[in-house]
Each structure stands twice: as structure tokens, then as C-alpha cells.
Amino acid sequence: MSNGAYDDRGNKDASITNPKGTGTMTPAVGTGKEMQTRNAFLVGDSMTGGYGKSGPDILHDCTIAVDPGEIAVIVGPNGAGKSTAMKAVFGMLDLRQGSVRLDGEDITNLSPQDRVVKGMGFVPQTNNIFTSMTVEENLEMGAFIRKDDFSETIQQVYELFPILGDKRNQPAGELSGGQRQQVAVGRALMTQPKVLMLDEPTAGVSPIVMDELFDRIIEVSRTGIPILMVEQNARQALEIADKGYVLVQGRNAYSGTGKALLEDPEVRKSFLGG
């Protein structure tokens, strides 16, 4: 990564985003304490639920949020409910308690498709590109909800990810793992989202490619888009994070700035290898 110098993040080109105010958040019944979500673009508040109407609960009173201009990461051991929490925010499982709010609006009962229309960009961990289509066709597919001319947005994606511009006419299935992830992120950006959610974007890639992907994620954040990310590479993710959530068995175990969590002796001992 770029020598750890990430303090100058800020809104460099907000035209790829769709920010429309911040709204006012209030905590749902369950936590019994105030969560710092007043200016959050996105908050999953006091979420309890699991897969299926009668399935066991995987999340237990779990709250995660991301604010404007932030990178927020969700980390924890295997089976902690990290990806489940993100899927709950995206509407892929039923909540028995809690709420999800985006830009001040309660979207708890909306489908994932409707949440995309409202401003969510979601990149799943696997099966996140059309391998037989070219890079540019993948980006065009990402603009499926738009009725306007999106050619400028495609150029902005190429500016963020220059390698995609070079390979725009190449089938996406022929790209490396890191390049495929860039296609997936670029396609999500084509909707001009209010917030971008990434589920383990560095899974299965080499350390060098992981560093490159984190650099690209930082570049996306510089456009002004809040980013919520699930990541198994906890230490590296917290190094670029403004805010971190450590989940254990579907519950909030620790939360704070990325720097504070990296320096917390209990977090270091239990989740970061000492």
C-alpha cells in the first residue's frame, strides 16, 4: 500500500456519487444505548435475525453504520456473522428485531432490488461479474437502473481503475482475480450509489494484489462515497479504516476507529495475532 499515508482522503470527485443529505437517526429498541448514527448514510440498527422465517438467529442486537466520507470495516473470526450482517443490511435475510436506514429513510422492508434503486451498491464475495461479457459490457450492465447517459460514469470508472480501460474489450473471465474485483466494484459504481458495500473484496488474492485492491478502495472513498466493507484480513483492513466493528457470534464485541482497535490489547490478542 502507499506507505500508510491515507490521511488526505476526501471528496475529490463527488459526481460519481448520489449524496442527498444525511438525515437524523434514532436507535431502535434493543441496544438500550445511543449509537453514533446521527449523520450515518447507512445504519443497520439493533439487528437480530437469521436465514428463513423459522431459522435460528445469527445476528444478536448487532449495530453497524457508515458515515459520509468514511471507510467502515467489519472484522471478526470465522463464523462471527460478518457477511450475514452485511446481507441483513442489504435485505437478504429477515430481521426479527431492528431496522435498516439509508440517508434518513427506513428501508427495513425493502427488497434488495429496491435498496439498489435507493442508493445501495453491493459487491458480493463471489459470482460478482459476468465472465463471458467484456469489461465494458459488465459496466454497462451495472447501469441497468439508469435512464440517462452513463458514458461519463464509465469514463470515471476507467479513471479510478486504469487497467479496466486498457482491457475494456476483453472478456472479464480472462482477467486476474484482482482485476475481476475491480470490474465488480466498477459495475456497482455505475448506479452512482450513495454507499458502497463490499463483501470480502480481497478473498483469495495474493498479498500484493490485496494491497493494490485496498489502494483502489481508498481511491473510491476519495470520491466521497461511504464504504462499508467485510474483510477477513483484519489488520490490513483496520489500517485503512476510519471506523471498525469487531463481531463475535453475531454480536458487537468491539467498535472504534481503526487506529484505536489496532492499538487495543484485547483486540490485538484475540483477533490480530498479538
CATH number of residue 89's parent domain: 3.40.50.300
Count how many domains the chain has: 1
What single-letter DSSP state applies at residue 162?
Answer: H
Instruction: Give me 23's grid cell.
Output: 438525515
Q: Let me know if residue 90 belongs to a domain.
A: yes
- Do 100 and 88 touch, CB atoms closer than 8 A? yes
Q: Let me know if residue 88 belongs to a domain.
A: yes
Question: What tens digit of pLDDT does each residue of 195-250 get?
Answer: 999 999 999 888 999 999 999 999 999 888 999 999 999 999 999 999 999 999 99
- Which pLDDT value is given to residue 162? 95
Considering the entire predicted model, what is its pTM?
0.84
Q: Let me know if residue 23 belongs to a domain.
A: no
Which position has the higher pLDDT, 207 or 24?
207
Q: Is the dihedral of CA 4, 72, 224, 171 positive or negative?
A: positive
Q: Let me know if residue 10 belongs to a domain.
A: no
- Do 272 and 234 touch, CB atoms closer than 8 A? yes
- Which pLDDT value is given to residue 37? 56
Q: Let me know if residue 246 belongs to a domain.
A: yes
Question: What tens digit of pLDDT does each residue of 104-153 get?
Answer: 999 999 999 999 999 999 999 888 999 999 999 999 999 999 999 999 99
Mean per-residue pLDDT of the chain: 87
Q: Let me know if residue 151 belongs to a domain.
A: no
- Which pLDDT value is given to residue 168? 97
Percent share of the chain, pLDDT over 70: 85
- Rounded to an integer, the average pLDDT of 61-82 is 94
* Tally of CB atoms within 10 A around 66: 28
Q: Let me know if residue 89 belongs to a domain.
A: yes
Q: 171 vs 161, 184, 206, 231, 242, CA distance in Å? A: 16, 13, 22, 27, 35
Query: Which residues span the domain enclosing 232?
Result: 36-119+196-204+228-273
- Which pLDDT value is given to residue 19? 43
User: Which of 231, 204, 201 shows the shortest CA–CA distance to 216?
Assistant: 201
Q: Let me know if residue 6 belongs to a domain.
A: no
